[in-house]
Amino acid sequence: MKVHGLLLLDKPVGLSSNVALQKVRRLLGADKAGHGGTLDPMASGVLPLMFGEACKLAGAALTHDKAYEAEVCFGITTATDDVEGEVISRSDERPTREALLAALPRFLGVIQQVPPVYSALKVGGKAMYRHAREGAPVAAQPREVRVDVIELLDFDGERARLRIECGSGTYIRSIARDLGAALGCGAHLSGLRRTRVGQYRVQDAVTLDALLAEGPTAAQSHLHGLLALVAGWPQAELTDEQARRFAQGQAVPWQTPTNPNADLSSPLPIGPAIDAPEGQVPSIDLAQIAGLVDGPLADTAYGLMVEETPAAATAPSADARSAKSTRVCRSSTRRSRRRRRIGRCR
């Protein structure tokens, strides 16, 4: 049986994200699987897992904002900036609560951050952690990241527990390292739990032990449909005739989104490559998606990438100014292999 959908896993400490993924894939009997956002073995928390056709939308999860609860240990720095690395230095100095609270605001907002030496970022075509393991570590250039919330939850003089909400690409290990440096005592990340990826919360995730105990049949009850991956995107409901035309690559006019809160004037998130030649912007096969979510074509609603029609040279009428004319576009297909992408229409 083909397996398609999204599963929210509460990854345990001690397993890499890929090992956890493969355990669930084998349990469900899925042919294709992927995850949205790597968690290090020392970290736990919500890990979105995609199976089958959902893998084509996995990139949407990678760009989501994330939330964490982090434990920072002061007085010790490590090679990896976390508890698993070799100890580099020790200090008897410890920050006061007042000093810690005063230092936290400098990590808020859009900041420049240097990734850890042991990271998956590539330098010279090779991951930085590979350079480091070969005895030739390289320093990455500072990158711009965004931190929306950094809040002190607890502090015992040795360790601080922080709540952090941040944009994609932010390294919590780097925040721990830089916080220790700012306080003059050094620090490393001693614990990490991811509580949210976009709209996916750890409270809605299932543990690996629970899945394995339930068995394959019961485990499938935790799968969410493909529409969960595009929740929050502007949506449109198409009639059977519109759906037929759309699936054949024809433009379908759309003026009234079913989501009244949709802001068609702002940029929409660009989805991942869904089997499409680079640079082309095709549609989703609506009939295929409707079948996967067990819904009729006329009732199937899903995220669409849209653009407003450029204003005419002459002054538009009042009705024309109020209506937002959008279109859905599709690229050509290859004979040997059809590749699709959700993207902003150009």
Tell whether 150 and 220 lie within a shared domain: no
Find the domain containing 242 and state its range. 232-346
Residue 267, pLDDT above cutoff 70? no
Residue 189, pLDDT above cutoff 50? yes
Q: Is 214 exposed, middle or buried (0-12, 13-18, 19+ CB in 10 A)?
A: middle
Share of the chain above pLDDT 90, in %: 46
Per-residue pLDDT tens over the stretch 118-149: 777 777 777 777 777 777 777 778 999 999 99
**The amino acid at 179:** L
What CA–CA distances, in Å, run from 173 to 121, 177, 196, 225, 262?
A: 14, 6, 17, 33, 36
- Confidence band (pLDDT; 50, 70, 90) for 61? low
If one counts the domains in the chain, the total is 3
Tell whether 72 and 93 lie within a shared domain: yes
Tell whether 55 and 103 lie within a shared domain: no
Tell whether 310 and 327 lie within a shared domain: yes
Per-residue pLDDT tens over the stretch 18-28: 999 999 999 99
Tell whether 240 and 323 lie within a shared domain: yes
Tell whether 85 and 188 lie within a shared domain: yes
The gap from C-alpha 129 to its chain's centroid, in whole angstroms, comes to 22
pLDDT of residue 99: 97
Tell whether 72 and 187 lie within a shared domain: yes
**Which listed residue (40, 81, 178, 285) is catalytic?**
40
Tell whether 150 and 255 lie within a shared domain: no
Respond yes or no: is residue 240 known to be catalytic: no
Tell whether 51 and 113 lie within a shared domain: no
Tell whether 78 and 193 lie within a shared domain: yes
